[in-house]
């Protein structure tokens, strides 16, 4: 059985815990590797070595650090297909989707090439008589990233790119479900010129996470995952004086107005609702058509599109629409929630519970589901399903529709489909959700803007990537300097106000 190890001080580190986690092939249900889980002592060792390596890295010219990112971009492009194949084999997503996962992370690394500009401070000449004032953005030291299974390339790249470009060392704790790609990225960074020890990849479970949160050396932690864990990490990080940006769950609504292009809206819903088997924090899981006529017409257009979806392993070709979910437990939870929806009175228009893929009976495949006449009191509306399940909640008016999205506890992403500019502008202005799409189903910002949800979808003051990332991974130091003439004539002992 293949074993997957840690990456510490620029080389593979086997570890000594004797504890392992199984890494599955989601398409077959078979165990394909064993992942070594770190002890607290091993995590502390990685942190100590990172702290030593960070001193020289933090003192390196920002432009030289940016050149490492430039080389890193070239190497990721060189190995794109290899990375995508490994990603698909451990996560289950289709090969084109795996390449998209890597590409969206790569775009953040490209943005980080501009780090020298983003790290510039401010300067005020002659703030007082003979006095200049300036600020510097300096790295925090050692920081940590705890990343999820659903984007095993993108989110680690979102974390490591800004953190390293700003001069920090990073401890990366990737998901134990699909850990190989983060380790491959660490090796590529070494090839790109990153000094050993500046990026440490430490695999583990809750024991490792708690060791990260308790470490007095680690100054900040970034997390993406479920809301309960995001809140736990945020609260515990605050107790130990760390900065934290923690992103949790979602229940993203798409409002479809009566004037919308329903073919366009239906196509968008199918892609946004079922792509990656619904395992995206920006997936659209709730469709809100306004008016009964709109709802009936939308369902009529959705059904044939959903029935044509091709579900299969990534090896079946690029025309596969989505693959398996990541684990057997995830599949069971999705089917449990589907049954809850039926029991609570929702209309199951498309029932994928009996889906079975010949030759892959033990895989973690879930057929597509479509619910209609879902109400806000149902569990399938309140909870994040994280699977190929689309719920339709009918609204009588625009105000009712926008009220649904605004009153939900999650606030990650949302969208509206309409031809009316006034409605679109009102929606964008009023909605209390972090990322908004107008005739765009999954409004993930590009790398030079910031990504982050509101309400229980995000904990912390600063978002991922874009300028916010460099603010998060640096602290500001302000210097007041005085070079008066006659300074050698003697000192002054009274505090003197500026003229």
Sequence spans of domains, the chain: 3-248+457-479, 252-438
For 293, residues 6+ apart whose C-beta sits below 8 A from its C-beta are: 258
Residue 499 is predicted with a pLDDT of 52
What is d(CA 123, CA 125) in angstroms, rounded to the nearest whole number?
6
Question: 176-213, pLDDT tens digit by residue?
Answer: 999 999 999 999 999 999 999 999 999 999 999 999 99
User: Please, what is the angle between helix 398-407 and helix 421-430, to 10°?
Assistant: 20
* Dihedral angle computed from the Cα positions of residues 161, 163, 166 and 169, in that order, rounded to the nearest 10 degrees: -120
The confidence band for 130, taking pLDDT boundaries of 50, 70 and 90, is confident
CB 138 within 8 A of CB 88: no
pLDDT, the chain, mean: 95
Mean pLDDT of the region 125-129: 87
Mean pLDDT of the region 56-84: 98
For 129, residues 6+ apart whose C-beta sits below 8 A from its C-beta are: 484, 498, 499
The three-state secondary structure class of 156 is: helix
What is d(CA 467, CA 458) in angstroms, rounded to the nearest whole number?
17
Mean pLDDT of the region 297-325: 97
**Which helix or strand (DSSP H or E) is residue 230 part of?**
helix 227-239
Could you tell me how far CA 298 lies from the centroid of its own chain?
31
Residue 493 is predicted with a pLDDT of 66
Residue 20 confidence (pLDDT) above 60 = yes
Residue 450 confidence (pLDDT) above 70 = yes
What is d(CA 6, CA 45) in angstroms, rounded to the nearest whole number?
12
CB 84 within 8 A of CB 95: yes
The confidence band for 490, taking pLDDT boundaries of 50, 70 and 90, is low
Q: How far apart, in Å, are the Cα atoms of 259 and each of 255, 293, 391?
A: 11, 11, 21
Residue 495 is predicted with a pLDDT of 63
Question: 208-241, pLDDT tens digit by residue?
Answer: 999 999 999 999 999 999 999 999 999 999 999 9
The confidence band for 354, taking pLDDT boundaries of 50, 70 and 90, is very high
What percent of the chain clears pLDDT 90, i.e. is strictly above it? 95
Question: 411-430, pLDDT tens digit by residue?
Answer: 999 999 999 999 999 999 99
Backbone angles phi, psi at 77, to 5 degrees: -65, -40
Q: Which CATH class is domain 252-438?
A: alpha beta
Backbone angles phi, psi at 246, to 5 degrees: -130, 120
Residue 483 is predicted with a pLDDT of 82
The full DSSP string for 316-373 is G-TT--B---S-HHHHHHHHHHHHHHHHTT-EEEE--TT---TT-TTS-----EEEES
Look at strands 369-372 and 11-13 and give their pairing. unpaired
Residue 498 is predicted with a pLDDT of 53
What percent of the chain clears pLDDT 70, i.e. is strictly above it? 97
Residue 19 is predicted with a pLDDT of 95
Tell me which CATH code domain 3-248+457-479 carries. Answer: 3.40.605.10
* First-residue to last-residue Cα distance in the chain: 75
Alpha helices, H only, 119-205: 154-165, 180-192
Question: 334-350, pLDDT tens digit by residue?
Answer: 999 999 999 999 999 99
Tell me which residues are annotated as active site. 281
Burial of residue 359 (number of CB atoms within 10 Å: 0-12, 13-18, 19+): exposed
Q: Which residues of 365-396 are buried (b: 16+ CB within 10 A; e: fewer)?
A: bbbbbbbbebeeebebbeebbbbbbbbbbbbe
For Cα atoms 455, 444, 120, give the angle at the middle one, nearest 5 degrees.
Answer: 90
Question: 357-387, pLDDT tens digit by residue?
Answer: 999 999 999 999 999 999 999 999 999 999 9
Q: Do 3-248+457-479 and 252-438 come out as alike in CATH topology?
A: no
Which bin fits 197, alpha (ψ -120 to 50), beta or left (φ > 0)? Answer: left
Residue 491 vs residue 353, higher pLDDT: 353
Mean pLDDT of the region 118-135: 91
Alpha helices, H only, 166-202: 180-192
Q: How far apart, in Å, are the Cα atoms of 451 and each of 18, 225, 276, 458, 494?
A: 38, 14, 19, 10, 49
Residue 491 confidence (pLDDT) above 70 = no
Mean pLDDT of the region 132-155: 97
What is d(CA 299, CA 307) in angstroms, rounded to the nearest whole number?
12
For Cα atoms 330, 334, 338, give the angle at the middle one, nearest 5 degrees.
Answer: 170
Residue 152 confidence (pLDDT) above 80 = yes
pTM of the model: 0.94
Could you tell me how far CA 98 lies from the centroid of its own chain?
15
β strands within 203-297, DSSP E:
218-224, 243-247, 252-256, 284-289
């Amino acid at each position: 059985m293949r074993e997957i190890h840690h990456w510490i001080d620029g080389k593979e580190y086997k570890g000594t815990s004797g504890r392992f986690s199984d890494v599955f092939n989601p398409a077959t249900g078979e165990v394909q590797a064993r992942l070594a889980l770190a002890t607290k002592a091993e995590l502390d060792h990685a942190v100590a070595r990172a702290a030593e390596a960070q001193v020289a890295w933090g003192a390196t010219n920002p432009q030289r650090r940016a050149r490492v990112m430039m080389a890193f971009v070239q190497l990721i492009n060189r190995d794109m297909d290899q990375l995508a194949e490994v990603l698909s084999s451990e996560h289950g997503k289709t090969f084109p989707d795996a390449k998209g996962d890597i590409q969206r992370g790569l775009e953040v690394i490209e943005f980080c090439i501009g780090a020298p500009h983003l790290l510039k401070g401010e300067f005020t000449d002659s703030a007082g008589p003979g006095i200049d004032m300036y600020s510097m953005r300096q790295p925090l030291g050692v920081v940590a990233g705890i990343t999820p299974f659903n984007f095993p390339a993108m989110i680690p790249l979102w974390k490591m790119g800004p953190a390293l470009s700003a001069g920090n060392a990073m401890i990366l704790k990737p998901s134990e479900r699909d850990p190989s790609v983060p380790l491959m990225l660490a090796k590529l960074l070494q090839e790109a010129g990153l000094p050993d020890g500046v990026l440490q990849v430490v695999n583990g479970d809750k024991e490792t996470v708690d060791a990260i949160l308790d470490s007095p050396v680690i100054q900040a932690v970034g997390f993406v995952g479920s809301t309960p864990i995001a809140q736990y990490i945020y609260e515990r990080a605050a107790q130990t004086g760390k900065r934290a940006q923690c992103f949790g769950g979602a229940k993203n609504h798409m409002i479809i107005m009566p004037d919308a292009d329903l073919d366009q809206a239906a196509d968008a819903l199918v892609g946004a609702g079922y792509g990656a088997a619904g395992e995206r924090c920006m997936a659209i899981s709730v469709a809100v058509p306004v008016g009964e006529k709109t709802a009936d017409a939308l369902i009529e257009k959705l059904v044939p599109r959903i029935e044509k979806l091709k579900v299969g392993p990534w090896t079946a070709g690029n025309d596969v629409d989505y693959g398996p979910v990541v684990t057997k437990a995830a599949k069971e939870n999705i089917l449990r929630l589907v049954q809850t929806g039926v029991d609570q009175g929702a209309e199951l228009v498309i029932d994928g519970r009996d889906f079975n893929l010949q030759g892959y009976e033990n895989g973690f495949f879930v057929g597509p589901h479509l619910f209609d006449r879902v109400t806000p009191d149902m569990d399938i509306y309140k909870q994040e399903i994280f699977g190929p399940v689309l719920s339709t909640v009918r609204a009588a008016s625009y105000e009712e529709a926008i009220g649904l999205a605004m009153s939900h506890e999650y606030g990650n992403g949302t969208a509206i489909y309409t031809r009316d500019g006034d409605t679109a502008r009102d929606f964008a202005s009023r909605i209390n959700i972090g990322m908004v799409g107008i005739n765009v189903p999954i409004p993930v910002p590009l790398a030079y803007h910031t990504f982050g949800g509101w309400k229980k979808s995000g904990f912390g003051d600063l978002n991922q990537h874009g300028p916010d990332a460099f603010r998060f991974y640096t602290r500001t130091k302000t210097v007041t300097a005085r070079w008066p003439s006659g300074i050698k004539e003697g000192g002054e002992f009274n505090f003197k106000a500026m003229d």
